[in-house]
């Protein structure tokens, strides 16, 4: 275990040094050079461990071991942009021995868990374990910005029917809300400001917003002035948990006299506020804003209850009277809490940790919904600080050790 731990820390840190946020496509690099180099790093390491590997045209990688019915471990090595507010180099791969952490973008989402899953396979292999199923560690390269990697994999390979995605929360996730990214177009033909823009990704809470406005420079609403430029600063978070961040768009709209727009977006959620089921309340996060051609375009991350359909959400949005386009959508995931997959994963988690936890539902969207029978499984746990999609993302040494034990036992139970 000690040798595995040291190697996991070293290689997670190395993986972080690749800026694998989506960039301009290049030949054989559909998501940019950083993503391609990071994928090569994982596949080269897996090949050195003795596993079969395959690179599907730069879209997705695959590490294969065993025989029999396929079982997927669906992870991703792309990341969201660094964003603002870091105290550590986001792509430095800093190993902090004193505090027992690795700092950097992707440590928890999802380079760290992907690396830990690979080492869980290696440990089982070194022990002489012979899986009765073909384990496929699938390394996606476009999870954060559209799932083109999964679309490509489905065209050139066969997706396993069952598996896990180490890209969310423990103890085990039986349901995921539906996802809709909607881009609303508000009229701004007579606006007394220009250059309104903010946000970096549809699934990241906006942490910076600016506009050019020659009105008196009062520092109302906590905003800054730089000449004619007005600046609003917030704190990023994952789009599925907007309450963990501070959205920079809301105070900007208030300052610019767009109170009705602010109420529609942040108060009434374009008519969706209050929808809820056993998977939790609907969340609505306006994360991108742009002023152009006499209009203000706002892209919102909507996570709706798993018992609802996209058509029901669309019907409500249509009543708002504000034109919108759908930029991205994923149907909900719902598993029986008593299914063999969910119960096995729950038992593994409880056995390793000594907990008495129950399955949960989330607003995040994971690769698990790409499977006929899939469940998200770690790495976050209730009660711990979450820095996914935020500044100063990190993974602790304790988390690495715990996930290693959990993923190793899960693969042994499900594939043995």
Q: Which residues are catalytic?
A: 78, 143
Whole-angstrom CA distances from 411 to 125, 133, 163, 376 are 11, 10, 10, 14
List Cα–Cα distances, 176 to 280, 303, 378, in angstroms. 10, 9, 14
Which helix (H) or strand (E) is 134 found in, with range?
Answer: strand 134-140
Q: Is 92:17 a contact under the CB 8 Å cutoff? A: yes
Task: Dig out the tokens for 362 from the structure.
Answer: 């989330």
Between 33-48 and 2-16, two packed helices, what is the crossing angle to 10 degrees? Answer: 160
Q: Sign (positive/negative) of CA torsion 70, 73, 77, 81? A: positive
Separation between Cα atoms, residue 285 and residue 296, nearest integer Å = 16
E-state strands within 213-250: 224-226, 229-233
Residues near 158 by beta carbon (within 8 Å), at least 6 away in sequence: 70
CA distance 171 to 165: 12
Work out whether strand 208-212 and strand 360-362 pair parallel, antiparallel, or are unpaired: unpaired
């Amino acid at each position: 275990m000690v040798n595995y731990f040291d190697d996991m820390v070293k290689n997670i840190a190395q993986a972080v040094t690749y800026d694998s946020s989506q960039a301009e496509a290049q030949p054989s690099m559909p998501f940019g050079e950083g993503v391609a180099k990071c994928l090569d790093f994982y596949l080269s390491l897996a090949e050195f461990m003795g596993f079969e590997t395959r690179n599907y045209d730069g879209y997705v990688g695959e590490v294969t071991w065993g025989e029999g019915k396929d079982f997927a471990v669906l992870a991703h090595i792309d990341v969201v942009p660094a964003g603002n507010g870091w105290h550590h180099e986001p792509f430095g791969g800093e190993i902090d021995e004193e505090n027992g952490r690795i700092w950097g973008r992707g440590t928890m989402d999802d380079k760290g868990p992907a690396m830990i899953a690979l080492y869980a396979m290696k440990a089982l292999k070194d022990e002489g374990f012979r899986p009765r199923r073909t384990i496929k560690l699938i390394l996606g390269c476009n999870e954060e910005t559209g799932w083109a990697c999964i679309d490509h994999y489905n065209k050139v390979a066969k997706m396993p029917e069952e598996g896990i995605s180490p890209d969310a929360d423990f103890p085990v996730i039986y349901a995921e809300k539906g996802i809709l990214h909607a881009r609303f177009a508000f009229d701004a033909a007579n606006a007394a400001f220009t250059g309104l823009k903010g946000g970096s990704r549809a699934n990241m809470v906006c942490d910076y917003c600016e506009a050019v406005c020659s009105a008196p420079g009062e520092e109302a609403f906590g905003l800054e002035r730089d000449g004619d430029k007005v600046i609003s600063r917030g704190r990023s978070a994952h789009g599925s948990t907007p309450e963990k961040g501070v959205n920079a768009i809301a105070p900007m709209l208030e300052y610019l006299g767009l109170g009705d727009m602010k109420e529609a977006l942040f108060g009434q959620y374009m008519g969706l506020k209050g929808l809820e089921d056993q998977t939790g309340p609907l969340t609505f996060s306006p994360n991108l804003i742009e002023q152009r051609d006499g209009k203000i375009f706002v892209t919102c991350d909507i996570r709706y209850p798993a018992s609802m359909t996209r058509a029901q959400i669309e019907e409500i949005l249509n009543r708002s009277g504000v034109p919108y386009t759908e930029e991205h959508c994923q149907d909900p995931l719902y598993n029986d809490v008593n299914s063999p997959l969910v119960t096995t994963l729950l038992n593994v988690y409880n056995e390793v940790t000594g907990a008495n936890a129950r399955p949960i539902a989330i607003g995040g969207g994971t690769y698990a919904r790409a499977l006929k029978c899939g469940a998200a499984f770690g790495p976050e746990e209730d009660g711990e600080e979450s820095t996914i999609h935020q500044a100063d993302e990190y993974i602790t040494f304790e988390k690495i050790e715990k996930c290693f034990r959990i993923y190793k036992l899960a693969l042994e139970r499900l594939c043995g």
